[in-house]
Amino acid sequence: MQKLRVASFSISVDGFGAGPDQGLENPLGVGGEELHQWFFPTKTFQQKVLSKSDGTTGVDNDFAENGFINIGAWILGRNMFSPYRGSHNDDWKGWWGDNPPYHCPVFILTNHKREPIEMEGGTTFYFVTDGINSALEKAFDSANSKDVRLGGGVNTIRQYLKAQLIDELHLVVSPVILGSGENLFLNRDFKSLGYKCVKNVSSERAMHLFIEKSINAR
């Protein structure tokens, strides 16, 4: 059965998945890059994002690598694709250059229509204006029976959590306190929504938490 998965999503000790004032100069918000210090050195990041051949192995890389296994499509919020607000800047084709690391269909949640963008390596960006359920249906249909990865950002994950549509979450708690930004846990009662923590594994740089939806949850 296909699943909607959150994988390798970094948060601070105080629950923030992005710093304040996200924009072109600070894609992850002020201080947001600190959340990903566990990920940047890994072989998975170096190969898939930077197209390099080196990188660290071990616990962090194992979990990062697992986040790409059996993924047939992605869903991203508008902020994960572009720093611009309002109508789309048609010259902007994402943060990742000509060959993004997805290599499959990617569905962008937005309020503004835009034609699909075909990129190198098999990535095509589709822009969905009719909500999270429509995006999920389209992603499942295009994933060739594989799972769909929900990449973020925080607001997008919170919407899918509220709707109890996420099957699994792999959250990575970095030893950082941001104090402000976008808080994943704000006004979200994971327990009442049917989620429970089933596993935790620590590395030198982070703690990996695995949260699943109860089979009895709606």
Cβ neighbours of residue 189 closer than 8 Å, sequence gap 6 or more = none
Q: Which residues of 117-128 are buried (b: 16+ CB within 10 A; e: fewer)?
A: bebeeebbbbbb
- pLDDT level of residue 85 (50, 70, 90 thresholds): confident
The reported pLDDT for the residue numbered 216 is 60
10-28 pLDDT tens trace: 999 999 999 999 888 899 9
- pLDDT level of residue 217 (50, 70, 90 thresholds): low
**Looking at residues 137-164, what average pLDDT do you find?**
97
Angle at 111 between CA 109 and CA 146, to 5 degrees: 20
CA max distance for the chain: 46
- The tokens describing 47, both together, are 């190969």
DSSP string, 40-107: TTBHHHHHHTT--S--B-SHHHHHHHHTTTTEEEEEEEHHHH-S--SS--TT---SS-SS-S--SEEE
Domains of the chain: 4-16+26-213 (3.40.430.10)
